[in-house]
C-alpha cells in the first residue's frame, strides 16, 4: 500500500513502521501525526476510509476516536484549574450542588478524572434520546449512590467520566465541554476535532470496521460492559447499529467520555499544544499543570474484580505504564477502543496521534510499532 504524506529524515523509521502496519498488520485505513517541540515532523495517511465502498482515506479524514475523546474534557478541566476557576480537589458539589447527595458529597473532580469516584456508570436505564439530551444523564447521576467510598478504589469510568466532568465545566463556564473546547482551544488551533460532529462533516468520516479477531468482552451484565454501553443502549462496537459508533445519532451528540471525532493531526496538534505549544506559540498547559496531571492516581485490580491489567492513571490521562509503554514519566495519553492512541510528553517535546478505522484484536501491535519507532527517533 502506498501511503501519503511525509516524515522528516530523522523519522524515516516511523514512516517505515506505518507502512509495515499495512503490509503485515492488516491495516485498513489509518493516519499518524507527530510533533517535536511544536513542529510537525510526521504527517502520514493511507488506506481505505470505508470498506463498504472503497472510499480512500484522505489528508483530512476524521473518524470516531472512542476514549481518545477524554483529552477534550481533561484539557478543558485542567485549563480551568490552571486559570483558578476549578479546584480539582474540591467536591464536585461546590460547582454542581445537586450532585452532592447520597454519599457523593466528597467526590472531587480529580477522583472522576482518575476513575476512583465510585460512579463508574449511569445506573438508570435511559433511552437513546435521553442519552443524547444531556440533562437526563445529569439528573440520573445526581440521584446515584457511589458504589464504594469515593477515592478508595479504581474502576474505569467510561462515560460517567465525561458527563460528570463535563457538567462541572458547564456549571463553571455556561458551555458544554464540546462548546468550550471549540471556543477556547480548537478554533484557534484549527483542529478537526469535535465533541458533537457537525452534520456537514459526517459524510466524510472514516467508517469504523471490525477486524476478524475481536478482544473478548466480559459478560454483558458486567460493570465494565454496562459502563461502556450505557446499560446496553450503545451497542459496542455496533458498526451497523443505529446507536453504534458509525451513527450520527451518537456522533452528532456530546458523549464527552468517548464520542469525539478527530483527525490524527487534530489530536497530535492538541497534545503538542498542551505539552510545548505549536509553531512558536505558548504551551497550553504549564509545566506545573502537567506535573500535577502525570502524578499517579490510580490503577491495579478494579473494584469489580478485574485483574490488574497494567493501566495507570494520572489526572485525566493514562500514564507510561506496563499496559502502555510511552516515552517516560512525563507522558500523558488517552487510548481508544480498537487500538487508537494519542499522547503528549513535555520532556521530549512530543505530540503524537495514531488513528485507524479497523478495530484491533488480541496481540494488536500497530500502535506499539509506531511508538517504538518514535522512541527510537527521539532517543527515549
The fourth-level CATH superfamily of domain 50-311+330-354 is DD-peptidase/beta-lactamase superfamily (3.40.710.10)
* pLDDT tens for each residue of 123-170: 999 999 999 999 999 999 999 999 999 999 999 999 999 999 999 999
Residue 327 is predicted with a pLDDT of: 98
C-alpha cell at 168: 462541572
> Which residue spans within 251-363 are E strands per DSSP?
260-262, 298-299, 312-313, 318-319, 331-335, 341-345, 350-356, 358-359
Listing from the earlier edge strand, what are the strands of the sheet with 260-262?
Answer: 63-64, 260-262, 193-195
The ranges assigned to domains in the chain are 50-311+330-354
Name the residues annotated as catalytic: 67
pTM to 2 decimal places: 0.97
* pLDDT tens for each residue of 276-324: 999 999 999 999 999 999 999 999 999 999 999 899 999 999 999 998 9
C-alpha cell at 25: 498488520
Residue with cell 487510548: 335
Q: Distances in Å between the alpha carbon of 217 and those of 225, 337, 347?
A: 8, 12, 36
Nearest to 168 by CA among 96, 78, 117: 96
What does each of the 380 residues of the chain score in pLDDT, given as a tens digit? Answer: 668 999 999 999 999 999 999 999 789 999 999 999 999 999 999 999 999 999 999 999 999 999 999 999 999 999 999 999 999 999 999 999 999 999 999 999 999 999 999 999 999 999 999 999 999 999 999 999 999 999 999 999 999 999 999 999 999 999 999 999 999 999 999 999 999 999 999 999 999 998 776 555 566 678 988 888 888 888 877 788 888 899 999 999 999 999 999 999 999 999 999 999 999 999 999 999 999 999 999 999 999 999 998 999 999 999 999 989 999 999 999 999 889 999 999 999 999 999 999 998 777 999 999 999 999 999 87
Residue 229 is predicted with a pLDDT of: 87
Residue 211 is predicted with a pLDDT of: 79
Please tell me the distance from the alpha carbon of residue 107 to that of residue 132, in angstroms, as a whole number: 25
Beta bridge pairs of residue 262: 63, 193
Residue 188 is predicted with a pLDDT of: 95
Task: Indicate the helix (H) or strand (E) that contains 73.
Answer: helix 70-82
Radius of gyration of the chain (CA): 19
Query: Contact at 8 Å (CB) between 208 and 237?
Result: yes
Amino acid at each position: 500500500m502506498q501511503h501519503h504524506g511525509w516524515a522528516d529524515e530523522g523519522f524515516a523509521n516511523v514512516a517505515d513502521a506505518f507502512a509495515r502496519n499495512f503490509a503485515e498488520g492488516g491495516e485498513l485505513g489509518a493516519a499518524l501525526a507527530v510533533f517535536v517541540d511544536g513542529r510537525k515532523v510526521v504527517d502520514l495517511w493511507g488506506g481505505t476510509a470505508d470498506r463498504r465502498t472503497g472510499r480512500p482515506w484522505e489528508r483530512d479524514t476524521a473518524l470516531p476516536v472512542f476514549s481518545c475523546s477524554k483529552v477534550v474534557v481533561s484539557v478543558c478541566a485542567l485549563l480551568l484549574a490552571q486559570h483558578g476557576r476549578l479546584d480539582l480537589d474540591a467536591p464536585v458539589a461546590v460547582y454542581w450542588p445537586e450532585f452532592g447527595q447520597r454519599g457523593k458529597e466528597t467526590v472531587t473532580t480529580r477522583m472522576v478524572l482518575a476513575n476512583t469516584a465510585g460512579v463508574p456508570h449511569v445506573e438508570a436505564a435511559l433511552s437513546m434520546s435521553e442519552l443524547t439530551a444531556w440533562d437526563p444523564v445529569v439528573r440520573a447521576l445526581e440521584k446515584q449512590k457511589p458504589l464504594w467510598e469515593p477515592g478508595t478504589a479504581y474502576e474505569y469510568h467510561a462515560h460517567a467520566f465525561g458527563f460528570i466532568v463535563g457538567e462541572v465545566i458547564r456549571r463553571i463556564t455556561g458551555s458544554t465541554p464540546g462548546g468550550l473546547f471549540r471556543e477556547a482551544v480548537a478554533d484557534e488551533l484549527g483542529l478537526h476535532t469535535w465533541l458533537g460532529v457537525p452534520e456537514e462533516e459526517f459524510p466524510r468520516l472514516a467508517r469504523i470496521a471490525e477486524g476478524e479477531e475481536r478482544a473478548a468482552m466480559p459478560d454483558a451484565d458486567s460493570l465494565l460492559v454496562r459502563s461502556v454501553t450505557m446499560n446496553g443502549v450503545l451497542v459496542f462496537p455496533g458498526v451497523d447499529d443505529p446507536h453504534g459508533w458509525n451513527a450520527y445519532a451518537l456522533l452528532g451528540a456530546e458523549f464527552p467520555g468517548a464520542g469525539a471525532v478527530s483527525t490524527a493531526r487534530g489530536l497530535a496538534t492538541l497534545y503538542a499544544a498542551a505539552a510545548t505549544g505549536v509553531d512558536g506559540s505558548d504551551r497550553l498547559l504549564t509545566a506545573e499543570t502537567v506535573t500535577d496531571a502525570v502524578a499517579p492516581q490510580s490503577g491495579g485490580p478494579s473494584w469489580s474484580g478485574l485483574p490488574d491489567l497494567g493501566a495507570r492513571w494520572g489526572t485525566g490521562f493514562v500514564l507510561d505504564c506496563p499496559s502502555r509503554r510511552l516515552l517516560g514519566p512525563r507522558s500523558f495519553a488517552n487510548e481508544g477502543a480498537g487500538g487508537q492512541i494519542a499522547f503528549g510528553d513535555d520532556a521530549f517535546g512530543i505530540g503524537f496521534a495514531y488513528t485507524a478505522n479497523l478495530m484491533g484484536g488480541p496481540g494488536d501491535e500497530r500502535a506499539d510499532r509506531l511508538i517504538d519507532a518514535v522512541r527510537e527517533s527521539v532517543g527515549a
